Every structure is written in C-alpha cells, then in structure tokens.
Amino acid sequence: MGQEEEQQQRTTKPRTTPTTKNNNGNQRRDISVHSFADLTRMSPVVFLYLLKECYVHGKCKATKKFRALQQQVHQVLSNSPQPGPATFILQCLYVLPLFGFYSEGFSHLIISALGRFLKLATLSEDISNAKLLAAGLFIDTVVGSVDHDERVLVKILEVFGVRVVDVEEAFARSKVREDHGFDSGEDFIEKYILKLIESQSYMTAVQLLEHFAIRQSGESFLVKMMENHQSRAAEKWATFMGKAMLCVLVQEYVDRNMLKHACETIKKNDLQQDFPEVYHKCKESALKSLAEKALWDLAEAKTHGDRQLLEYLVYLAMEAGYTEKVEELSNRYSLEGFVKAIEPEACIPHGRFLEVNELAIEDIVWVDGADGLQNVTSYIEGCKVVGIDCEWKPNYVKGAKLNKVSIMQIASDKMVFILDLIKLFEDVPDILDNCLTRILQSHRILKLGYNFQCDVKQLAHSYVELECFKHYEMLLDIQNVFKEPRGGLSGLAQKILGVGLNKTRRNSNWEKRPLSKNQLEYAALDAAVLIHIFCHIRDHPPGVLDGQEKFEWKSHIVSHVDNLRKTKKACKKEGEV
C-alpha cells in the first residue's frame, strides 16, 4: 500500500498544483479589485501594489490588460482617494519609480486615466494643489531626485496643466536654486530644454517649448533638427512658431529634395501662393510617379482639371508611347494645339518594347457568347501548352474591395482568345463553368501563368458560384521557375527574350466595352509571351542563363483543389493598386 500511495501522490500532485496557483491568482486579483471600492484610507503604495497584482494575475494579453486597468483606475478615482484624485495620482507618481519594471507603463496608465477623469470632474482646489506638486515633480525629475522617462514628464505637465508660473512657485520653495545655481524657474526650464537639444531629444524639446510657450529658439534650431533627420519634430516646431518658420521648413525640404514633404506642408498650411513653383513641381513629381506605375486614371484625377498639369500628363503619356491616352486626354480637354506643338521626338518611348506581331500570332479573338466559347474550348483541348492571364479594373480606394476579374486571356502558339468573363457569367454561367472546367482541370494541357495562382484566387472570389476556379491541374507558374524574378513579366521577357513589355496600359479600365485595339493587344501579349518564354526555357542549353546548371521546370508544375476558407484574402496581382 505504501508504494501505491506514493505512486498516487506522484500522479495527483501535478494536477492540483496549477489549479492552486490559478486559484491564488484569481483570489489576489479579486481582492485587489474589491479593495478599489473605497480609497478613503488607502495609501499610494498600497494602491500601486494592488494595481500590480491585478496586472500580474490578469488573464488577458498585455495591451488588453493595460486598457482594462486604465478603465478601472478611471472609474475608481471617484471612490474618494485622499486628499483628492489629482493629488493622489501625483503622490503615486512620486512612488512609482520604486516599482522598477512597472514604473514607466503604470505612469502612463494612471496619468491617462486621470486625464479622462478630469474631463468630466470639477475639482478646482484639488487640481490647484496637484499642479504645484506636479511642478515640483518636474523639478525633482530634471535634477535626478526622481527617476521618470522624458515622455512621462511631458505627459505630467500636459495633464496637470503646469505652466511657467507654477514652476516658478515650486522652484522658489525648493533648494534647487541654491544647489544647482539657477536664476529662476524659467531659466531652469530653458536650460533643461537646451540640454535635451544637445542630447538630440528634439521631439521632447519641441513639446516642452510648445507647452511652456517659449519662442526663443529660432531658425538654427529647425535646421539642426533637419540635419539630424528629425523632420517630424521640425514640422511640429515650425507649426508652433508660425508662417515664417513654416516657410523656412518648406525651403529646407526643397533644398534636401524632399518634395513630397514640402508639398504636404504647403497644402496643410495654405502656402501655395508663397511657393507656387515648388507646389507645381511637387504636383508634377506626383503625376510622374503615378504615370510610372501606369495609374493614368488616378493621375488624371489628381490634376483637378489644371490645364498645365494636364499638358504635363499628356507629355508623360507621349513619352511612354501610350498614344491612345494622349488622344483621349487631348480630345477630352481640347489640348490639340499643345499636342501639335510637341516635337515628334518626344513621342518616341525610351527603348523598344515587344509587339504582338513579333510573336507570329495569327489572330486575337474576342469571345462573349456561348457558341464562341464552346469553339474556343474545343480548340484549346487540342493544344498541349497554353498561356493564361487575366485583367480587372484597378481600385484606387485603399482598403476597398477589388473589382471583379473582367477578362481572361488564353493563348496558343498561334491564337489568343480573350474571354469577356463579366458578360459570359451574366448570360451563360453554366456553359462558362463547364468550358473553363474542361480547360483548367485538364491533365493533358499544360497551363502557363505568371503569378497565376493568385489570379485564380481572385477569380474564385469574383465568381463564387462557379466551380471551375476552385480546382486546377497542370499549372506551371513561370514566376516560380526563377529564384529572383525582377521587374515582373516585363523584366523576365527582357531577360529571356531580350525585349520587355510596355506596361503603360496595365491599369486601364478593363470593364469598358469595347476594349481598344491597344488594350486587346496588350492583353493578348501578356498571355502569348508566356509560350515563348517557356519554349526558350525548355529548349535552352544548360548553364547559359545566370550560371544555372539546369532549369528544372517540370518540378514546378502544380495542381490544386481550392479551399475557400483558406483563401479569404485574394493575392494582389502584379502592379495592382
């Protein structure tokens, strides 16, 4: 029996010990919370100890616990802490450095809780007393008698509303004048701020200068902040100082080629008339950035009808070789005279791009009916290899739902078929589902794509009712064949075929009907070029490209059965806004 009892103890002890600890933790937390019901006779030290116990034994994650305790402190400040809520919290702040690891976090917690409490309470006498104590705490912290972080110090001054006059009064009562040789409370504040500047604590220095309404630091202070890459602090300081300093800040941005910051400051502070050339240059820079990403519609909206900016946008379109965009903008805004005035050389895009007629494509076929779709399917089923891509209208609103996939391109070595998915789904959804299932789920057809696994997920989200996009077989994603693909499909075409793709039409409106000739050729090219890249990879002798011994493309062929619960977020298409 002795051995059996010993064995029983060994097996039961691990089960009971954690429960006991948990019960103790729960009891301590319950006792702590219950104790907050009456703060009449509770000292700051006991209050902080109980607060720590609540935090340590809380079951939530750290951030959630912090917010819950902040709410708890906010509520219990009405439970008669003596000699008053504000003074009580100030006394806690004097004690908190003794709590080591918890000091900074709990300081922010109780100060924030008091700030919320004071918005609803009227405690004039308590606040008056606490303000003087807060000024004293500021002095004691600066001279090192009490250990608080700079950010905590700023928060104390803000919540308790400490001003220079309060520091002067507290300074007169302290021994700091005798021990450290300061002339006055204001002198004490200014020398502390100077010390912060010397230690490059610019944001804290700016916050104190603003809080105490000290305007003596001038242009050199702002320049020093900019030199040390503290533009956020510099902007806060310039805003406090006024228009003259804001103008200095804008010029500093311009001199450092920080046009985006300059433009934002100009707009935010209505300085357009003071910096007309800079503002226009910023606008042009923004348009150029959008044009380089092929975000032409968004760039047009950003012009707000300004003729000078529209002319610049037309020039960018001409430079990119986007002739239909040039014509579209010229007709819409009557810019014919401007276009004729541009020298013909400006219309020549930099470098040469691959053209669809260079790939021996016999025809590009638009498919938007049942008969055409069935004919296409029969033709594709006779192919061994096809290239597939799809397009959808970009969405320029951050966080907004992506638009439906508009078209799907399927290319053989001689033909490209462009399927109007929107119309086919509206008119003949069952036939569309059946035909694409026969193509995408075929074990005999090798489907080539570029980041097409993400496109398939977007297709599945666009057309949830269809089964064809939930399963595919024999997909070779060309992007995955290369270890470090750069420049997207265009960059890959440049690398493999020696010439890239013109992506200026990438973010056009793919929902308009009919699509332009250039849009059709762009879409066809994205699918057809995959066939040529694949043939080059398949037939290329080993060891020539990037020093790789062999392209193991067969190992990259994948099949997939989609689980919609695992694909709630569609992958972002290359170049998507």
The CA distance from 62 to 55, in Å, is 8
Range name among 135-139, 183-187, 198-202, 443-447 with the lowest pLDDT average: 183-187
What would the mean pLDDT of 422-428 be, rounded to a whole number? 97
Angstrom distance (rounded) from CA 338 to CA 327: 12
Average pLDDT over residues 275-290: 90
pTM of the model: 0.60
Task: Tell me the pLDDT tens digit for each residue of 165-181.
Answer: 999 999 888 877 766 67
The domain ranges of the chain are 36-207, 294-347, 356-566
Predicted local confidence at residue 110, as pLDDT: 94
Distance CA 33, CA 380 (A): 72
Q: What is the pLDDT of residue 532?
A: 92
- By three-state DSSP, how is residue 436 classified? helix
Q: What is the pLDDT of residue 247?
A: 95
* Residue 267, C-beta contacts closer than 8 angstroms, at least 6 positions apart: 279
Q: 10 Å Cβ neighbour count for 331?
A: 11
The predicted structure's pLDDT at residue 562: 52
Give me the mean pLDDT over the 337-364 stretch.
66
- Any idea which of 21-25, 227-231, 249-253, 306-310 has the lowest mean pLDDT? 21-25
Contacting residues for 519 by C-beta, under 8 A, at least 6 apart:
505, 508, 510
Per the model's pLDDT, the better-predicted residue between 294 and 22 turns out to be 294
Residue 348 has pLDDT above 80, yes or no: no
- Give the other-Cβ count within 10 Å of 390's Cβ: 25
The DSSP bridge partners found for residue 560 are: 472
Percent of the chain with pLDDT over 70: 84
Q: What is the mean pLDDT of residues 486-495?
A: 81
User: Mean pLDDT lowest for which of 273-282, 303-312, 488-497?
Assistant: 488-497
Looking at residue 338, what is its pLDDT?
Answer: 52
pLDDT greater at residue 419 or residue 1: 419
Tokens linked to 11: 């097996």
* pLDDT for residue 1: 47
3-class SS shares of the chain: helix, strand, coil, % to 5: 60, 10, 30
- Backbone phi and psi for residue 359, each to the nearest 5 degrees, phi listed first: -100, 15
Lowest-pLDDT range, 64-73, 307-316, 535-544? 535-544
- What is the mean predicted confidence (pLDDT) over 243-248? 94
Most confident stretch, 21-30, 147-156, 564-573: 147-156
Q: How confident is the model at residue 323 (pLDDT cuts 50, 70, 90)?
A: confident
Residue 382 pLDDT exceeds 80: yes
Q: What tens digit of pLDDT does each residue of 94-145 get?
A: 999 999 999 999 999 999 999 999 888 777 789 889 999 999 999 999 999 9
Give the chain's mean pLDDT: 84
Largest CA distance in the chain: 108
Residue 462 reports pLDDT greater than 70: yes
pLDDT at 237 over 60: yes
Mind listing the pLDDT tens digit for each residue in 325-341?
Answer: 888 888 889 886 555 54
Q: Above 90 in pLDDT, residue 367?
A: yes
The per-residue pLDDT for 6 is: 47
* Tokens linked to 432: 């569309």
Helices (H), 212-275: 219-227, 231-241, 243-255, 259-268
CATH number listed for the domain at residues 356-566: 3.30.420.10
**Is 50 exceeded by the pLDDT of residue 569?**
no
What pLDDT does residue 22 have?
46
